[in-house]
Amino acid sequence: MITLDHVSKTFESKGRTVRAVDDVSLTIGAGQLHVLIGPSGSGKTTTMRMINRLETPTAGRITVDGRDVLAMDVVELRRSIGYVIQQGGLLPHLTVAENVAMVPRLLGWQRHRRRERAEELLGLVGLPAGQFADRYPRELSGGQQQRVGVARALAADPPIVLMDEPFGAVDPITRKQLQRELRRVQAAVNKTIVFVTHDIGEAFLLGDQIALMADGRLVQNGTPADLLRRPATPFVTAFTGEDRGLRALEYTTLAEVADAAGSVPATDGDTLPGELSILEAGRELARRGETGVDGFWVSDRGGRKTGYLSYRRFAAMLGEALGPAGATAGEADGDALPA
Ligand SMILES: Nc1ncnc2c1ncn2[C@@H]1O[C@H](COP(=O)(O)OP(=O)(O)O)[C@@H](O)[C@H]1O
Ligand SMILES: [Mg+2]
């Protein structure tokens, strides 16, 4: 588990003081994929870089498993934290397998064990070792390089992985594929993942928890369902944005996607008419506000409960359909590989 307790970071830049992160308190639960979302410059990267001590907080305290990161040995800390950045950050003169095995090599693993581990992870991220292990990064597409970046971050089996807009620089179709794969990989390896994005679709698709930042501050933190039911302004905007792939949300009804009512135990919760589109249902849930349950019922025209949808599934469907915003491609923030 990771905690941030009233963490701030200011930079002095050209005689000005920049408040990059402003009094952020946040708990990131073990085994969770916690998304940090917000516009460019909202402090996401700085927040993430303070966790693995690439930056030092100006104020506040960060702990990993109860230990203050500033009191930990920095090498040991970084070993327990994988890091994936937007451009992959692969070393061009090393093969794919050597890139993946970088940290195991630093840890002194034997050659054959490193190779075995690299092959295993390449398989996990969908790059058959026989085909990819001995290539060089320049012989791979952008999406394939990002997969290698993910494999590398997992190589030494760190309990925590930080991912900073890892799919931001790849085309929308590849991106969708990488997102689906990350969900599969996360289910298989069960890491604590902090995932930075400024893409709401990606956040809904991937996040167990979503923390929304703006101007260095934490605006809202909660599950996708929380954000659906009491959305802060940017989320409302994202739902109603004109330039998004909203078609599927408009034309798919709840009745089409709900689980059969008989397959879930009877619980409380709202009932929504099955003929509502997913988009209408999102707006309706936001209008009704908060409840403590994990999903809602779907009824037929006679008012009979015919189906059930968990918020988790509902949010993932929204995420799938919203997809990357047109404006997000190619935003590079020039992060460097950690030393
Ligand atoms: N090393 C730095 N020196 C000066 N200002 C910085 C530095 N790093 C980040 N900033 C500033 O801090 C703010 C937050 O940046 P960042 O955390 O990179 O945001 P995000 O990742 O959300 O785009 C921005 O205004 C950025 O210009
Ligand atoms: Mg950033």
Residue 74 has pLDDT above 80, yes or no: yes
Atom of ligand 1 nearest to the CA of 12: 4
243-276: pLDDT as tens digits = 445 666 776 788 888 887 776 666 778 899 998 9
335 inside domain: no
Task: Tell me the CATH number at 131.
Answer: 3.40.50.300
Mean pLDDT, rounded, of the chain: 84
Which atom, in ligand 1's list, is nearest to the CA of 38?
22
Is the minimum distance from the CB of 42 to ligand 1 under 6 angstroms? yes
Q: Are 217 and 248 within one domain? A: no
Torsion of Cα atoms, 29 then 31 then 32 then 33, to 10°: 130
**Ligand 1 touching residue 41 (CB < 6 A):** yes
Task: Please tell me whether residues 245 and 218 are part of one structural domain.
Answer: no
Taking CA 86 as the corner, what is the angle to CA 83 and CA 89, rounded to the nearest 5 degrees? 65
The answer, yes or no, to whether residue 84 has pLDDT greater than 70, is yes
**Range 60-87 burial, b when 16+ CB lie within 10 A, else e:** bebbbeeeebeebeeeebbeebbbbbbb
Q: Are residues 176 and 59 in the same domain?
A: yes
Ligand 1 contact via 44 beta carbon (within 6 Å)? yes
pLDDT of residue 246: 61
| pLDDT attached to residue 337 | 34
Q: What's the rounded Cα separation, in Å, for the pair 111 and 101? A: 9
Identify the pLDDT of residue 235.
Answer: 54
Q: Look at residue 133 and tell me if it is in a domain.
A: yes
| Highest mean pLDDT, choosing among 28-37, 185-194, 326-335 | 28-37
pLDDT in tens, 289-314: 767 678 899 998 888 888 999 888 88
- Interval between CA 269 and ligand 2 midpoint (Å): 38
Residues 72 and 145 in one domain: yes
Whether 280 and 300 map to the same domain: the answer is yes
- Which position has the token pair 């969708």? 176
Take atom 11 of ligand 1 and give the residue whose Cα is closest: 20
- How many other C-beta atoms can be found within 10 angstroms of the C-beta atom of residue 139? 12
DSSP string, 198-235: S-HHHHHHH-SEEEEEETTEEEEEE-HHHHHHS--HHH
CA distances from 155 to 44, 148, 165, 284 (A): 25, 10, 19, 44
Mean pLDDT of 35-50: 93
Within 14-139, strands assigned E span 16-28, 33-37, 59-64, 67-68, 81-84
Q: Is residue 327 part of a domain?
A: no
User: What share of the chain in percent tops pLDDT 90?
Assistant: 43
Mean pLDDT for the stretch of residues 323-330: 44
Asked whether the predicted pLDDT for residue 242 surpasses 50, the reply is no
Strand partners, 280: none
Q: How many CB atoms lie within 10 A of CB 110?
A: 10
Residues 136 and 70 in one domain: yes
Question: Per mean pLDDT, which range of 102-111, 178-187, 316-325 is the poorest?
Answer: 316-325
Instruction: Please tell me the predicted confidence (pLDDT) of residue 62.
Output: 98
If pLDDT is split at 50, 70 and 90, which confidence band does 226 have? confident
Largest Cα span, the chain: 67
Per-residue pLDDT at 259:
82
Range of the domain at 145: 2-227
Look at residue 124 and tell me whether its pLDDT is greater than 60.
Answer: yes
Whether 164 shows a pLDDT value over 60: the answer reads yes
Is residue 337 included in any domain, yes or no? Answer: no
As a whole number, mean pLDDT of residues 230-252 equals 58
Query: CATH number for the domain including 259?
Result: 3.90.1280.20
pLDDT of the residue at 247: 60
CA distance 170 to 144: 10
User: 141 and 13 in one domain?
Assistant: yes
Distance CA 284, CA 187 (A): 31
Q: How many domains, the chain?
A: 2
Tokens 């809904």 locate to: 204
pLDDT at 56 over 70: yes
**Is 233 inside a domain boundary?**
no
For the chain, give percent helix, strand, coil, nearest 5.
40, 25, 35
What pLDDT sits at residue 112? 95
Q: What is the pLDDT of residue 236?
A: 46
The pLDDT value given to residue 333 = 36
Residue 45 lies in a domain: yes
Q: Kindly state the tokens that stand for 333.
A: 């923030």
Whether residues 219 and 79 share a domain: the answer is yes
Tell me, yes or no, whether 209 and 136 share the same domain: yes
| Residues in Cβ contact with 39 at an 8 Å cutoff, skipping those fewer than 6 apart | 198, 214, 234
Structure tokens belonging to residue 172 = 């929308």
Percent of the chain exceeding pLDDT 70 equals 87
pLDDT of residue 180: 83
Using DSSP's 3-state secondary structure scheme, residue 11 falls into strand
Q: Tell me: do 211 and 66 sit in the same domain.
A: yes
In angstroms, what is the span from residue 72 Cα to ligand 2's centroid?
25
296 lies in a domain? yes
